[in-house]
Amino acid sequence: MIQSHTKNSGFEHLGIAPKLQQIIDRLGYTVPTPIQDQAIPIAMDGKDVLGIAQTGTGKTLAFAVPLIQRLAKFGGMGLILAPTRELALQIDEVFQALGRSIGVRTAVLIGGASMNNQIRDINRKPHVIIATPGRLIDHLQQKTVRLDTVMTLILDEADRMLDMGFEPQIKIILRSVPQNRQTLLFSATMPAEIWRIANTYMRTPVRIEIAKSGTMAELVTQEVYAIAKNDKLRLLEWILKQPYKSVLLFSRTKYGAKKITKAVHDMGYKAAEIHSNRSLAQRREALDGFKSGRYRVLVGTDIAARGIDVTGISLVINYDLPDVAEDYVHRIGRTGRAGEKGHAISFASPDQGQEVRAIEKLTGKILPMAKLPELPPQRGSYGASPRPFAFQPRTASHAPVAAQPHPARRVGRWRPRR
């Protein structure tokens, strides 16, 4: 059984068990992030936690460490809900790294994967189940899983699950687990729906707020190009000629992601697409290829904004501005992680002034506008003949973006075409 102790480590004051501490040291974690520093000891005491922290702050370790330690001490089972298949798999990777050597068993219940294999994993009596809400409901309806031994329930990226329409499933699951349990809820934003869930299903949770809603990663510089829709691919080609090592690009639609991926291939770069029309195997191959460097560009919809945990992404491109301003923060949070610098470029058409202002209002920062470079000529099957562009900033624009991330420069406010 795991016993708490302290040792000479950045995690020494958190009361982590000896074996678990040795694993953390071996994995190279030296200094806890703010959410880890605050959440781990509280969760270890068995209290409910309402954690508000932006993406990329180390939330998975913040709940994985106390969960493993409490399961070793008290028994029972842990249940983790995640909004996407990708995030569920990445959470499982963390649990495998932390718990494999001490015998922690997990089962991942996600759509697009074999039900038979999942039932086999359930029959092995896992210590931790990691699931997307829809697939967990499938198992509950088929009576292939029981949740009566759940000691700790964790809702990760809770706001994203609500955005995706999972509130009815979440409420069913909350009614299916024991009332006498610990609940940890982590979210990047705190909409009214989250408050209702916290007030109804949590027991006097300790609120930990690392960054307020709309807070952006500190090491990410940003800029926006005012660009006609038909010229976006030509601007993208110019950007990809710069020495950015890895590029995550966001499209508003699945069809757009497919079209952009093909265009990037035509430009001579290796790219993959990730969205809900791709099978689980295709999505895993795309993400693994992006992590390993096999693909320089990963093109996705917002399914990737909160479901990708990849360090070393040097550039995020908002090829299409998001429909919701909060998603902008989640998108650009994919770069500038783990103490590294990052850069974010957004494309905005002249009639998107409202979207730009919504992002600026949420973040409290002006998005610097960049001067369009001399674009490559139209080539191959993508792009269209450039049309006159009506947008002009109020003041003189600055030079084109440098090849490497640079400090953001304010050159005027957005003036959409009227």
**409: pLDDT strictly greater than 70:** no
Query: Does 184 have pLDDT greater than 90?
Result: yes
Q: What is the mean pLDDT of residues 283-290?
A: 90
Same domain (yes/no): 175, 308: no
Whether residues 145 and 169 fall in one domain: yes
- Whether 352 is in a domain gets the answer yes
Counting the structural domains of the chain, the total is 2
Q: What is the pLDDT of residues 34-87, one digit of tens each?
A: 999 999 999 999 999 999 887 667 899 999 999 999 999 999 999 999 998 989
Kindly state whether residues 134 and 264 are assigned to the same domain: no
Q: Are residues 330 and 277 in the same domain?
A: yes
In angstroms, what CA-CA distances link 66 with 43, 47, 121, 162?
6, 11, 23, 25
Q: Which residues contact 364 (CB under 8 A, 6 or more apart)?
A: 214
For residue range 17-40, list pLDDT tens digits in order. 989 999 999 998 888 989 999 999
| Predicted confidence band of residue 214 (pLDDT cuts 50, 70, 90) | low
Residue 386: inside a domain? no
Does the pLDDT of residue 412 top 80, yes or no? Answer: no
Q: Which residue has the higher pLDDT, 247 or 214?
A: 247
Question: Are residue 205 and residue 76 in the same domain, yes or no?
Answer: yes
Q: Is residue 383 part of a domain?
A: no
In a domain, 376, yes or no: no
- The least confident of 37-51, 136-150, 304-318 is 304-318
Mean pLDDT, rounded, of the chain: 85
Residues 183, 187, 193, 195: is their CA dihedral positive or negative?
positive
The secondary structure of residue 183, as a DSSP letter, is E
- Looking at the fold, whether 327 and 205 belong to one and the same domain comes out as no
> Could you give the C-alpha distances from 362 to 5, 42, 190, 329, in angstroms and in order?
43, 30, 13, 9
Look at residue 346 and give its three-state secondary structure: strand
Confidence tier at 376 by pLDDT (50, 70, 90):
confident
Whether the pLDDT of residue 200 is over 80: the answer is yes
Q: How confident is the model at residue 326, as a pLDDT?
A: 81
pTM for this model (two decimals): 0.72
Domain boundary among 209, 242, 264: 209
Domain region containing 321: 220-370
Say whether both 169 and 292 belong to one domain: no
Q: Give the separation between CA 134 and CA 110, rounded to whole angstroms.
A: 8
249 and 193 inside one domain: no
Q: Tell me the sheet residues that pair with 369.
A: 224
Whether residues 143 and 203 fall in one domain? yes
Report pLDDT for 297.
97
CB 391 within 8 A of CB 418: no
Contact 73, 44 (CB under 8 A): no
Higher pLDDT: 57 or 298? It is 298
The beta-carbon contacts of 254-263 under 8 Å, at least 24 apart in sequence, are 254/301, 256/319, 256/320, 257/299, 257/300, 257/301, 259/382, 260/233, 260/236, 260/299, 260/319, 261/297, 261/299, 262/382, 263/233, 263/236, 263/382, 263/383
Which pLDDT score, from 0 to 100, does residue 306 have?
61
Q: Answer yes or no: do 182 and 235 share one domain.
A: no
Q: Which of 36-50, 197-211, 257-271 has the lowest mean pLDDT?
A: 197-211
- Asked whether residue 379 is domain-assigned, the answer is no
Query: What pLDDT was estimated at residue 133?
Result: 96
**Higher pLDDT residue, 302 or 235?**
235
Res 193 pLDDT > 90 = no
Between the two ends of the chain, the Cα-to-Cα distance in Å is 68
Both 282 and 194 in one domain: the answer is no
Asked whether residue 264 is domain-assigned, the answer is: yes
The reply to whether 382 falls in a domain is no
Which residue, of 190, 209, 228, is where some domain finishes? 209
Give the CATH number for residue 353: 3.40.50.300
88 and 226 inside one domain: no
Per-residue confidence band for 391, with pLDDT thresholds at 50, 70 and 90:
very low
Number of helices (H) and strands (E) in the chain: give both, helices first. Answer: 14, 14
For the ranges 61-65, 281-285, 403-407, the lowest mean pLDDT is seen at 403-407
pLDDT of residue 381: 52
Using alpha carbons, list the distances in angstroms from residue 117 to 84, 109, 120, 244. 19, 9, 5, 40
Residue partners of 311: CB distance under 8 A and separation at least 6: 337, 338, 340
Specify the pLDDT at position 404: 40
What confidence category does residue 130 fall into, taking pLDDT thresholds of 50, 70 and 90?
very high
404 in any annotated domain: no
Residue that terminates a domain, selected from 185, 209, 233: 209
Burial class for 361, CB neighbours closer than 10 Å (0-12, 13-18, 19+): exposed
Q: Which residue has the tokens 């706001």?
A: 159
